[in-house]
Amino acid sequence: MLELAIALQHLPFLNSAERLQLMELYSGLDDLRRITARDMLQAVGRPYRGQEFDPEVLIQRVYRQQDWMDAAGIHALHIWSSAYPALLREMDHPPVVLYVRGELPQGPCISVVGTRHPTSEGRHAAYRVGFELVRLGYCVVSGLAMGIDAAAHEGALGGGGITAAVLGSGVDRIYPRGNLQLASRLLAQDGALISEFPPGTMPAKRRFPLRNRVIAGLSALTVIVEAPRNSGALITADFAAGKREVLVHQAGCDSVLGDGCRELVLNGVKVIRGRAAELIPAAHREGADEYRDD
């Protein structure tokens, strides 16, 4: 099943929802030898427009990728695996496969995101939220971007806890390169680098919104620390809205770069103030105590 998931991910004419549909229809690589792109598209209800693939070339690509991942210490898990994050599976159109360096967090997660160009107040707030959340037993999830994301990861590491970074590239292609050392420290402290994109995939603008949906999907709660109106953090908030709780930090509401935060508040998103222990609703505290550092 994992090999099938990897193979489907290498077919660019399919989207996440269609790959999931095909995962429910087919059971392994041998199925790919018996079907065509036309068969696949017919199965998912989309017209055929000349798409093709060579099954033997695709299968050999899967085998080569698995060999390379084994050598590089990268592991993968398909959507029906017991190790696949349950919260992510509940999202619309979840990835059919995740690639991981390090260890997926076992405890509850909270996502912390924001602008790549924060104010000093926003950066400090993100660090404090990350620091305090891990002291309470949560894993901090963010996107390894410069700015708020990096500050949240740094706070989690400073608090002696676990943090996971979701990438818009392969887990072997750290982006931005300026956070390469942060990624190494994150892994050394039992954290994880996570991506739905195969190893070797370079970062591209179109991949970051997909990355943001995974950030939202891994957590029951997403905190927007500081975000202007055009921030990618608002894409994360959109993915979380309606399915997960979204909170805005007061620092973002007070910021000159906080138009996006203030817009979220006008749309009914709650503002959190004070220490992290005060911002976490009781519904999201269950399960964190066994991971907290007292």
Same domain membership, residue 147 and residue 12:
no
DSSP bridge partners of 260? none
Considering only the C-alpha atoms of the chain, give the largest distance between any 2 of them, rounded to a whole number of Å.
60
Tell me the two tokens of residue 82.
């017991």
Contacts of residue 285, Cβ cutoff 8 Å, sequence gap at least 6? none
Report pLDDT for 215: 97
Let me know if residue 100 belongs to a domain.
no
Q: How many domains does the chain have?
A: 2
Same domain membership, residue 127 and residue 70:
no
Same domain membership, residue 205 and residue 70:
no
> Do the beta carbons of residue 85 and residue 217 sit within 8 Å?
yes
Let me know if residue 102 belongs to a domain.
no
Same domain membership, residue 219 and residue 140:
yes
Same domain membership, residue 182 and residue 274:
yes
Tell me the two tokens of residue 152.
């949240």
Domain-ending residue, one of 22, 53, 74: 74
Same domain membership, residue 261 and residue 183:
yes
Three-class secondary structure of residue 232 per DSSP: coil
Report pLDDT for 273: 80
* Degrees, nearest 5: CA angle 211-212-214: 70
Let me know if residue 237 belongs to a domain.
yes
Domain-ending residue, one of 57, 74, 91: 74
Same domain membership, residue 114 and residue 67:
no
Same domain membership, residue 248 and residue 126:
yes
Let me know if residue 185 belongs to a domain.
yes
Same domain membership, residue 272 and residue 156:
yes
Same domain membership, residue 37 and residue 142:
no
Regions in the chain scoring below 50 on pLDDT: 283
Let me know if residue 124 belongs to a domain.
yes
Tell me the two tokens of residue 258.
């906080």
Closest CA to 263 of 239, 293, 228: 228
Name the residue range of residue 228's domain: 109-291
The predicted model scores a pTM of 0.91
Let me know if residue 97 belongs to a domain.
no
Tokens 């077919």 appear where? Answer: 11
CB-hemisphere CA count at 13 Å for 180? 5
CATH assignment at residue 194: 3.40.50.450
Let me know if residue 87 belongs to a domain.
no
Same domain membership, residue 15 and residue 155:
no
Give the integer Cα–Cα distance in Å for 59 and 65: 10
Using a 10 angstrom Cβ sphere, with 0-12 exposed, 13-18 middle and 19 or more buried, the burial of residue 54 is exposed
Same domain membership, residue 142 and residue 217:
yes
Report pLDDT for 287: 54
Report pLDDT for 292: 58
Let me know if residue 104 belongs to a domain.
no
